[in-house]
Structure 1
Amino acid sequence: MLSSRSFVIAGSGIRLLLADPAPFILTILMPLLLTAFLSPASKAQLSLSGHANASGAQQLIPGLGVLFTLLGTSLVGTLFFREHAWGTWERLRSSSASTLDIVIGKVAPLYVVQLGQMAVLFVAGVLVFGYRPNGSILALVVVLAVFVAMVAAFGVMLVALFATMDQALVVGNLGGMLMGGIGGALAPTSTLPGWLQAVAHISPAYWAIAALQKITLDHGNLGDVAGSLLVMALFGLSFALVAGLRFRPSDTKVGTT
């Protein structure tokens, strides 16, 4: 639960995020634009995978949503590193807020915003491209909530591991592209080269996309995606554990304004 100190920090984070909404707007518009271009190819791929009546949006809306949320990991780092760049990190440390209060206060608003982005993207997919999941909407919401939490934990881990904002951004973006690519964000994993199919399971994105596709194409419910939810939760806990072991409030970080 958020403490009163975390709420104060979260409020500051929300104001910072809203001051520059461009990254969030782009994260919604880019998947929709790519869906418009890639739908015919994705429809053909799904047909070859045994889903002859599916539209390309059934692959692209979940896949691109996962990919661009992973690329949004950089925003987690921004909220931390800019405190160092502005010289306000020490002020936070000297307040009555604990380290956990600070971390939760920083991550919570971004979690809510990124979950909202996913909701807007999926609704836009329904309205613009006819995206229609044939499974449980509750299961869809739970998968998205767990996935975004996992991504937030990944972002905090990068903050804990790297000393500069540029390092965290490079690793976050490359890691996001790699996880999304081998996880099936742009094409069903069954259409990827054999060696990529063999390593796809090590990507957290694979489990998120597999769960979303089960719900979208195969009438999946919460029980059907329980395994994927468990794996995503384990990834998230692993990222959080590394972050907890490596995060030092006294560490010097280099950010940009």
Structure 2
Amino acid sequence: MRDGALTRITALVRQDVRLLLRDPAPLVVRTVMPLLIMGFMQPLFRAALRAGGEAADANGAEQGVPGMAVMFLFFLVNVVGFAMFREHGWNTWDRLRASTARPVELLAARVVVPLAAAVLQLAVIFGAGGALFDLRVTGSLLALVVVALPLALCVVMVGMALVALCRTISQLSVIANILALVFAGLGGALTPQSAMPDWAEPFAPAVPSYWAMRGFNEVVLRGGGVADVLLPAGVLCAFTAGLTAVTLVFFRADHRKLSWS
């Protein structure tokens, strides 16, 4: 049974990979756009970091690269939703339901490719940030990975939870875009967390992007190691667990999704 489930999930993942390779434009845009914005915003980030006392010799990439990476990663939520809704738009969802694949297998298969895309997006942005904008990571690279992996999974599960809750792709798209911008603002992706307005500080810990930025800042700015990012990584895992529970509770394979308003 386990081998059969793995075979079915693998087949679905292969189909998602083929579709992604056929049209990689969304992934490319989400990776290139934050780097383009960094080119314009780096002087502002540099001034903000130095004014806030974060780092006297900061060049701005310490805030801009992780900030833009986190902000644009949450736009992946739309892609996660589209991957599910297109099955209904193509009238192939009923075929999947009629197959031997169970609903939990259909969900598990739809997580794999977006998760890989999220990890790849983070890796390319941080790598290009070092090459193009002189990002200096003073801490452990392994610690960056410890934060990045649960962040990527958390983003994917935001998308899966919205799939379970939303009936139309328009509903999901609007909510996903609003969440991406709110998370960017409250999480400290648009401005250093030390420079956030007073009214935002009480709400900031309630969003996963805050903990992602806290973990990245610990490594990039303060030279932290794995032990220093266990709390942010653990909170991101808790967010992921909660979103997974929402998905499992509210997802119904027989619910009809609309790929239009």
Range into which the TM-score falls when normalised by the shorter chain: over 0.9
Equivalence for 2:45 = 42
For 1:42-81, list aligned pairs within 5 A: 42-50=45-53, 51-81=55-85
1:196 is aligned, of 189, 194, 200, to 200
1:241 aligns with 2:249: no
Amino acid aligned to 1:15: R
For 1:210-225, list aligned pairs within 5 A: 210-225=214-229
Q: Is the 8 A contact 1:190 1:197 kept in 2?
A: no
CA distance in 2, matches of 1:7, 1:132: 39
1:90 aligns with 2:94: yes
2:112 is aligned, of 108, 111, 122, to 108
Bigger mean CA deviation after superposition, 106-115 or 1-10 = 1-10
Equivalence for 2:211 = 207
1:232 aligns with 2:236: yes
Q: What 5-or-longer segments of structure 2 have no aligned partner? A: none
Q: Is the 8 A contact 1:67 1:185 kept in 2?
A: yes
Spell out, residue by residue over 1:115-174, the C-alpha distance to the aligned partner (whole angstroms, 9 max, x if none).
111101111111111111110101101211110001111110000000001101110111
Amino acid aligned to 2:93: W
Amino acid aligned to 2:44: A
Deviation at 1:198, TM superposition (A): 2.1
In the superposition, the TM-score normalised over structure 1's length comes to 0.97
Deviation at 1:211, TM superposition (A): 0.2
CA distance in 1, matches of 2:21, 2:105: 21
Task: Percent identity, please.
Answer: 36
Amino acid aligned to 1:146: P
Amino acid aligned to 1:92: L
In the superposition, the TM-score normalised over structure 2's length comes to 0.96
Equivalence for 1:24 = 27
Equivalence for 2:18 = 15
1:135 is aligned, of 139, 147, 151, to 139
Q: Is the 8 A contact 1:71 1:177 kept in 2?
A: no
SS at match of 1:45: helix
Deviation at 1:49, TM superposition (A): 2.2
1:144 is aligned, of 142, 148, 172, to 148
1:162 is aligned, of 162, 166, 174, to 166
SS at match of 2:74: helix
Equivalence for 2:258 = 254
Spell out, residue by residue over 1:87-114, the C-alpha distance to the aligned partner (whole angstroms, 9 max, x if none).
0001111111111111111110111011
Q: How many residues align?
A: 256
CA distance in 2, matches of 1:18, 1:106: 15
CA RMSD in angstroms comes to 1.1
Amino acid aligned to 2:90: W
CA distance in 2, matches of 1:199, 1:106: 31
Amino acid aligned to 2:10: F
